[in-house]
């Protein structure tokens, strides 16, 4: 996986562990943002799939990171940025 310098800085500033990024790629839902990027995020279905495969205990302990999202370029898959949604704001879908 390739990362921009911006995404590496943001990941460190926001305290998002690499494991969460791996889970976003493996279990997260994807939504095209209309501007050339794909947003990966944890939906309720994604958390259920994760709980089924990983187990309830790790999911419960890391629940605070399920507000995280990752933005990738739709052309080459490079991670543009990572972040956390505030106040449980939803990912806008078209």
Cα-Cα-Cα-Cα dihedral sign, residues 66, 60, 13, 22: negative
Summarize pLDDT for 41-83 with one digit per residue, the tens: 999 999 999 999 999 999 999 999 999 999 999 999 999 999 9
pTM (global) more than 0.75: yes
């Amino acid at each position: 996986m390739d990362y921009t310098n911006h995404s590496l800085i943001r990941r460190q500033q926001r305290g998002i562990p690499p494991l969460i990024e791996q889970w976003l790629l493996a279990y997260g839902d994807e939504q095209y943002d209309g501007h050339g990027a794909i947003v990966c995020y944890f939906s309720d279905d994604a958390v259920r799939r994760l709980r089924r495969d990983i187990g309830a205990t790790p999911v419960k302990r890391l629940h605070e990171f399920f507000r995280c999202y990752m933005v990738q370029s739709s052309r080459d898959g490079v991670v543009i940025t990572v972040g956390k949604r505030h106040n449980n704001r939803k990912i806008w879908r078209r």
